[in-house]
């Protein structure tokens, strides 16, 4: 299981005072030293945490960069310029504290298709952040996404067998129809244990719990503890 570490909330702290500290790039390097397999960041329309220059600088690190973004023409233009290894398309609402719910790919096929095509044509892998629902998985394959990322938020909030089964069935279906599968959102040092048992998942993308832990033990240690938790 690979671990992608999301550094958004390092930037959240920096933006609180605009003093240039803490530096998401330096802490991304610490995360890599602690065992992260790649770095993830979300460039939001309102630039509340990660800034354009952060993405440009993260791209210079010798690691895989997964850029989360909304499927807008502004973000598409930016992604084609920076060329991350992967773009994860996410829904975005201005008022939300964090990404609420998955992308409704069934309803947004027309909007997503040209964005996916342009990114893939530029050699960028495309992942769609979706709820673990059969129709969303099927439509992701129709849209020829390379990956889906299953939204683990409902499970993370209230770990239970029904949600875990939804996640494992969505993974199985996705693999069956040729999609590669990542998962993330709300995962922490405890609730991650059952998620790693889901056969077929390639990568977990984890941000908040690692960043919160890093305040106590430092980034390298926080990532290596998560590394140990996910095996």
Q: Using the minimum distance from each CB to ligand PXP, give the nearer residue, 19 or 97.
A: 97
Cβ 26 to ligand PXP shortest distance, Å: 19
Nearest-angstrom CA–CA distance, 39 and 43: 13
Considering Cα of 59, then 63, then 69, then 75, what sign does the dihedral take?
positive
Task: Name the pairing type of β-strands 180-184 and 201-206.
Answer: parallel
| Residue 142 Cα to chain centre, angstroms | 21
Among positions 51-110, residues that touch ligand PXP (CB under 6 A) are: 68, 88, 90, 98-99
Scanning the structure block, which residue is given the tokens 């959240």? 12
Binding site annotation covers 227?
no
Catalytic residue among 29, 149, 151, 185: 185
User: Does position 129 bind ligand PXP by CB under 6 A?
Assistant: yes
Binding site annotation covers 85?
no
Nearest to 47, CA basis, from 92, 86, 82, 84: 92
User: Does position 207 bind ligand PXP by CB under 6 A?
Assistant: yes
Q: Quick check: 63 and 39 in contact, CB under 8 A? A: yes
User: Does position 140 bind ligand PXP by CB under 6 A?
Assistant: no
Considering CB under 6 A, how many residues would be counted as binding ligand PXP? 19
User: Does position 208 bind ligand PXP by CB under 6 A?
Assistant: yes
Nearest-angstrom CA–CA distance, 204 and 91: 19
Angle formed at CA 145 by CA 139 and CA 151, multiple of 5 degrees? 70
- In the residue annotation, 151 being an active-site residue is answered as no
Q: Using the minimum distance from each CB to ligand PXP, give the nearer residue, 76 or 192.
A: 192
Catalytic residue among 42, 92, 139, 149: 42
Cβ 173 to ligand PXP shortest distance, Å: 19
Q: Hey, what are 228's tokens?
A: 């140990």
User: Does position 136 bind ligand PXP by CB under 6 A?
Assistant: no
Nearest-angstrom CA–CA distance, 203 and 168: 14
- In the residue annotation, 133 being an active-site residue is answered as no
Interface residues with ligand PXP (CB under 6 A)? Answer: 6, 8, 42, 68, 88, 90, 98-99, 129, 149, 184-187, 205-209
Active site residues: 42, 68, 185
């Amino acid at each position: 299981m690979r671990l992608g570490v999301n550094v958004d909330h390092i930037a959240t702290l920096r933006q609180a005072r605009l003093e240039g500290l803490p530096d998401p790039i330096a802490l991304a390097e610490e995360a890599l030293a602690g065992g992260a397999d790649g770095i993830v960041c979300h460039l939001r329309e309102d630039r509340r945490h990660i800034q354009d220059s952060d993405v440009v600088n993260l791209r210079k690190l010798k690691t895989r960069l997964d850029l989360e973004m909304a499927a807008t023409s502004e973000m598409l233009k930016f992604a084609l310029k920076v060329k991350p290894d992967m773009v994860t398309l996410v829904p975005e609402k201005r008022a939300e504290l964090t990404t609420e719910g998955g992308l409704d790919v069934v309803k947004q096929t027309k909007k997503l298709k040209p964005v996916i095509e342009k990114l893939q044509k530029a050699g960028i892998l495309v992942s769609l952040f979706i709820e673990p629902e059969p129709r969303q998985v099927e439509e992701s394959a129709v849209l020829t996404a390379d990956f889906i990322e299953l939204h683990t938020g409902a499970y993370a909030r209230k770990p239970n067998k029904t949600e875990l089964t939804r996640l494992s069935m969505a993974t199985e279906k996705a693999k069956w129809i040729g999609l590669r599968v990542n998962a993330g959102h709300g995962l922490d040092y405890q609730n991650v244990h059952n998620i790693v048992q889901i056969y077929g998942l390639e990568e977990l993308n984890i941000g908040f719990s690692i960043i919160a832990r890093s305040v106590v033990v430092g980034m390298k240690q926080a990532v290596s503890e998560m590394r140990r938790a996910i095996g």
